[in-house]
Chains A and B, each alone.
Chain A
Amino acid sequence: DVKVTQSSRYLVKRTGEKVFLECVQDMDHENMFWYRQDPGLGLRLIYFSYDVKMKEKGDIPEGYSVSREKKERFSLILESASTNQTSMYLCASSDVLSGPNEKLFFGSGTQLSVL
């Protein structure tokens, strides 16, 4: 089975802190994604990556950056956390052969609270 692992299930940080959210997938997928999930708003795409060292902005990239130094790992960085970044963060990956938007495999999420 495809496994997408997010390093933390729950995280509490203070305003202004630099926050790293880590995601690792074990299926050699080319595509990786970071979403945030907020009640009533569904999932919104923050950043995605089609290859190592490659990144593209999604719909809501402001306040975030990403890093993809290795194919299996995709990190989301909050340079200076703010309270409006309190949310559930979901990492996903997909195989380029099935199409980047066809079947996404998701991690179980990191619930981030910024105080």
Chain B
Amino acid sequence: DIQMTQSPSSLSASVGDRVTITCRASQGITSSLNWYQQKPGKAPKLLIYAASSLQSGVPSRFSGSDSGTDFTLTISSLQPEDFATYYCQQSYSAPLTFGGGTKVEI
């Protein structure tokens, strides 16, 4: 199975900050990497798919990139509504696997 290692597990940031979250795959997954946002008590929301494609309706301050087996989610200017937990997920092969999550706190 492909393991997804996400870092950091949590971070503290302020409104307006640039935030970067990373995810590393245990083997090559091409660009088959998605990013989800989850707020407490809510279902996850797809932000980025195929490593760098912005899902419809998602603000452009969110972006994704990849380099080999390393993937990055960047929030260019953190907004109050962005405080949440973020998960990466590989869609390359079954069983699909998620990273452990990154909680973004004030």
Specify whether A and B are partners.
no
